Amino acid sequence: MTTSVDDTHDPALSSWVESANDPGTDVPIQNLPFGRFRRAGEARYRIGVAIGDQIVDLEHARLLSTDDMNDFMRAGAPARTALRHSLSQRLRDGSAQQSAIQASLVPMAAVEMGLPCRIGDYTDFYTSIHHATNVGRQFRPEAPLLPNYKWVPIGYHGRASSIIASGESIRRPRGQSKRPDDETPHVGPSARLDYELELGIVVGAPNALGEPIPLDDAEAHIFGLALFNDWTARDLQVWEYQPLGPFLSKNFASTLSPWLVTMEALAPFRAPFRRPAGDPSPLPYLDAAANRAAGALDIALEVWLQTSTMRNAGTPPQRLMQSNFRDSYWTVAQLITHHTINGCNLRAGDLLGSGTQSGPEPGQGGSLLELTLGGKQPLQLADGEMRGFLEDGDTVILRGHCARAGFRRVGFGDCAGTIVA
C-alpha cells in the first residue's frame, strides 16, 4: 500500500514554476502527474509531467529514454518513484538544475493532450453501494441490492476502442430501445443520454496469466488514477442489459482525463476502509490489515454542466453534485485482487473503471438517472433550463481533488466532453 509520505509531499515545498504555487492549482510540485501531449501538427505524443501551467517534456529533459508511456508504466513503482524524486528536486525553488530543465518546459496552453497511454483491456466495476442502491430501487423497490453485492466486487468487461480523450465530442448514439407501453422496439437516437462520474484506475506493472495478485501487493500494480466518464444511453441499456449486461448502451464513448495522478501523489490522502455495522467482512482474499487501515482514498468528486444556452450567454458551468471516493464499497486494491483471483492477467495500460460514484445523501447521485429519478424529476438549472437527460450541446465536466490539513491540494484536472447530434 502506497502510504509513505516523504519530502516530495512537504507542503512547504514551492517551485520556481510560479503557477505551481497558486493555492488553487491542481498541479503543485507535490502532484507531478503523467500524461501525453503534442503540439499542433505533431503526429507523435510525448510523455510529460504537469507542473502549474507547464509540462516537463521528459524525453527532451533526458529524464526518460522512451516516448512509449506503456513501456514506462510496465516498469512499475521503482522507475516511477525515482522519477518523481528527481523531478521534485529539479523543480523546487533554489534547484541548481533550474536552467537545465527550463528548456524542456512546454506551456499547457500550446499543446493538445491525448489519452495518457494506449488503453489495453477495460473493465468497469460498480463499487458505489449508494449508486447500486439508487439504481436498484428504480427497478426493484422491494430489494434494491442483489444478494451478491456485499461479497463480490461486481464488474463487466467493456470496450477499449471507444475510450477517448477529454475534450473530444460525443456523438449521440443510435440504437434499439423499447418504451414500456410500446408493443415493439424502435431504432433511433438515444433520448436518455447520461454521464457516469467515475475514477479510472490504470494498471502499471503486469501480472502473469495464472498468477493472482495478493491484496498486499495489489497497489504495486497500479500506475495512477484519472477521472472517467462512462457515458451511457439509458434507453438502450434498459432494453438490452438482460441477461448478459451492458453492451451498446455503453461502448459508443467513454472519456478519460489526460493526467494520471500517481499512487505516490495520493499517499497523504489515504483513509481507513470501513464497512457499516452489520455488513459482512470481505472474504479473506479481499481482507488485510493494511487495506483496513488505509485502503480507501479521500478524493472529492464533482460533476459540472454547461449547456449550449449557458455557453452562448457566457455563463460558466454549474456544479450538479459532489461525492467522495472514500464512500466506495471496495478499495482500488480489492478491485485488482478480485480481478486476478481466477488467474486473469492485467497488463500495462489496462483500465479499471470504479463504477459511478454516488454519495450517501440525496442529491449526491453520480448520474442523471439518479439525480432526476430516471427523468421523472428533471433538474432545474440556475438559468431556468430543465434537464432530465443530456441535450445536444451539453458539456459535462468531471472534476476531482484531494485536500487535507497539513498537505497541498492535489487535483486531477478536467474530464470534459460535449454531446453533438
| Nearest distance, CB of residue 384 and Mn ion, angstroms | 31
Cβ 54 to Mn ion, closest distance in Å? 33
* Cα 124 from Cα 356, distance rounded (Å): 9
By beta-carbon proximity to Mn ion, the closer residue of 215 and 225 is 225
Q: Which of 60, 85, 130, 131 is catalytic?
A: 131
Nearest to 230 by CA among 153, 127, 374, 152: 127
Q: Which is nearer to Mn ion, 15 or 254 (CB)?
A: 254
User: At its nearest, how many Å lie between Mn ion and the CB of residue 40?
Assistant: 33
> Restricting to residues 278-317, which ones interact with Mn ion according to CB under 5 A?
none
Q: Specify the residue, 307 or 364, whose C-beta has the smaller distance to Mn ion.
A: 364
| Site residues (CB under 5 A) for Mn ion, limited to 310-349 | none
**In the set 26, 196, 235, 264, which binds Mn ion (CB under 5 A)?**
196
For the bound state, the minimum distance from the C-beta of residue 60 to Mn ion, rounded and expressed in Å, comes to 37
Give the β-pairing of 46-51 and 122-125: unpaired
What mask of x and - would describe binding to Mn ion in positions 366 to 385, judged by CB under 5 A? Answer: --------------------
Site string for Mn ion, 108-147 (x = CB under 5 A): ----------------x-----------------------
Q: Which three cell numbers stand for residue 274?
A: 470501513
DSSP secondary structure code for residue 15 in this structure: B
The CB-of-196 to Mn ion minimum distance in angstroms stands at 4
3-class DSSP state of 81? helix
Which residue's CB is nearer to Mn ion, number 249 or number 418? 249
Smallest distance from the beta carbon of 144 to Mn ion, in angstroms?
A: 17
Residue 231 beta carbon to Mn ion: minimum distance, rounded to whole angstroms: 9
Size of the site for Mn ion (CB under 5 A): 3
Q: Looking at beta carbons, which residue is closest to Mn ion?
A: 230
The torsion angles phi and psi of 294, rounded to 5 degrees, stand at -155, 30
Window of 175-183, 222-230, 259-267, 358-366 that interacts with Mn ion by CB under 5 A = 222-230
DSSP state of 282: P
> What's the distance, CA 62 to chain centroid?
29
Q: Which stretch binds Mn ion (CB under 5 A): 173-181, 196-204, 336-344, 360-368?
A: 196-204
How far apart are alpha carbons 117 and 350 in whole angstroms?
Answer: 9
C-beta separation of 203 from 221 below 8 A: yes
Q: Is 131 a catalytic residue?
A: yes
What residues contact residue 277 under an 8 Å CB cut-off, 6+ apart?
Answer: none
Count of residues for the chain? 421
Tell which positions 223-262 bind Mn ion, by CB under 5 A.
230
80/82 Cα distance (integer angstroms): 5
- Using rule CB under 5 A, residue 194 touches Mn ion: no
User: Please, which residue, 15 or 357, has the CB nearer to Mn ion?
Assistant: 357
Segment contacting Mn ion by CB under 5 A, of 18-26, 79-87, 152-160, 194-202: 194-202
Are the CB atoms for 288 and 309 separated by under 8 Å?
no
Q: 210 is written with which cell numbers? A: 495464472
Nearer to Mn ion, 20 or 397 (CB): 397
Burial 84-108 (b: 16+ CB within 10 A, else e): beebbebbbeeeeeeeebeebbbeb
- As a whole number of angstroms, the distance between CA 227 and CA 198 comes to 6
CA distances from 172 to 165, 287, 305, 390 (A): 17, 42, 17, 10
> Which residue lies nearer to Mn ion by CB, 230 or 235?
230
Consecutive H or E run containing 88: helix 77-91
Q: Which is nearer to Mn ion, 126 or 273 (CB)?
A: 126
Q: How far is the CB of 105 from Mn ion (least distance, A)?
A: 36
Distance CA 254, CA 228 (A): 7
Measured CA to CA, the distance from residue 250 to residue 241 in angstroms comes to 10
Q: String of b and e for 263-281 (b: at least 16 CB within 10 Å)?
A: bbbbbbbbbebeeeeeeee
Q: Which residues bind Mn ion (CB under 5 A)?
A: 124, 196, 230
Catalytic residue numbers, as ranges: 131
